[in-house]
Amino acid sequence: MNMAIYCHFRFWRVVQTPLSNCTFTVLLLFVASFAGLALPDATNAQSAASPTWFVTIVLPPKVVAGYPATLAVFGADGRLAPNVTVTVGNGVSVKTDATGRAFFTAPASHGVMFAEASGVSAVALVENSSSASPETAAKELAVAPVLSLKDRFAICGGGFRGDADGNRVTMNGDRALIVAASPECLVALPSPRATPGTAKLSVDSSGTPRTATMTLVSLQFEEPQPAPVPGQKSGLTVHVEGSVTPLAIVIQNETPGVVEFLRGDTQELRTSGGSRNIAQIEVSAIRSGDYSFNAKLLPSSDLSAAELYLQAAVPLASKSLQRRLKACADRLASHPKDHEKVRQEVAKMISTTIPGNFRVLLEAARLAL
């Protein structure tokens, strides 16, 4: 089966003076069809901006202790990457196959599980297995009510196969690509044929499909107005296609040396809702050059997962941080409505933490908040 790339929608503009000489183009990395089309070679701009090799490891949000699971590795070009060695759990090494995925068995102990490759890490929660096989413990599907057409999404609810190819996921009848799997959760990419609007999700792991309904949206950048010129402010607009509901999104500046956001290079915003469902942000050009932005939906909160990540981070923290982490975890447990304050406290810790497993846990907690 051909694999899809993880797709980004990016704006690229050459900022020149005088203003009349400015040019504007859009570069869209298309997802290859699951039905036999070759993957496109349309990543030159991204590769030029990111010459150093790095990877992104994708794990299912939850794995089950002692049971099989599947992970995936994406390269800097957004493609699923074969022949990448990943260290999972307590020093077990696996290598991604031609599809960019690898099969492994989750550690026998519960808590958290790290996966490491090429200097980066990812983490998943490890749940205890029940007396019954997890594959038979199917519950109602848990999936975000709004999904992006171009982003991976998680499906939880148990009853899945740890081998990704043992599950079938469709959206409005079109096959979605499963990149990571465990008996508890799947991670999938929408079909390249999916369109914005209401979608029916169907998941079949045992011959009895389960269904859910959600909304698919596309996040589109509009050309900054006025055109970015060093020393002047411009307005950047993100338009939501497929939903009239206000949505929480995050916009990231991927070329901070060329342009800057006036309130930081990563901005969390809420769209306006309505027929013109937009969010706007001010940008300023620093110098001439190509630039790119990325917009994603903010995930729904999972306070129980955030609490578990914070608890797992305590033993890895310095003595000065351990008390703060314990206080954050306790606050989530006793006062869940204070999760935004906990999120802000975690963000402060991340800002002063070097890369490593401790930071990975903090970032996982913040994402779950």
For domain 218-297, the CATH class is mainly beta
Distance CA(329)–CA(345), nearest Å, equals 11
Number of Cα atoms under 13 Å in the Cβ half of residue 82 = 6
Per-residue confidence (pLDDT) for residue 46, from 0 to 100: 33
| The domains spanning 134-216 and 218-297 adopt the same CATH topology | yes
**Which of 59, 177, 186, 176 has the alpha carbon at shortest distance from 134?**
186
Distance CA(34)–CA(145), nearest Å, equals 24
Per-residue confidence (pLDDT) for residue 137, from 0 to 100: 74
Sign of CA dihedral 304, 156, 135, 150: negative
The residues of the chain scoring below 50 in pLDDT are: 1-52, 131
Distance CA(34)–CA(307), nearest Å, equals 38
**Which of 364, 326, 330 has the alpha carbon at shortest distance from 347?**
364
Instruction: Judge if pTM exceeds 0.95.
Output: no
CB atoms within 10 A of CB 251: 22
100 SS3 class: coil
Tokens 């055109």 label which residue? 227
Token readout for 111 is 């808590």
> Phi-psi bin for 89: left (phi > 0), alpha (psi -120 to 50), beta?
left
Sign of CA dihedral 255, 260, 261, 263: positive
Domain boundaries, the chain: 134-216, 218-297, 303-368
Token readout for 222 is 């509009």
Distance CA(259)–CA(267), nearest Å, equals 14
CB–CB of 268/250 below 8 Å? yes
Distance CA(107)–CA(112), nearest Å, equals 9
Sign of CA dihedral 116, 369, 109, 186: negative
Pick among 3.50.50.60, 2.40.50.100, 3.40.47.10, 2.60.40.10: CATH of 134-216 = 2.60.40.10
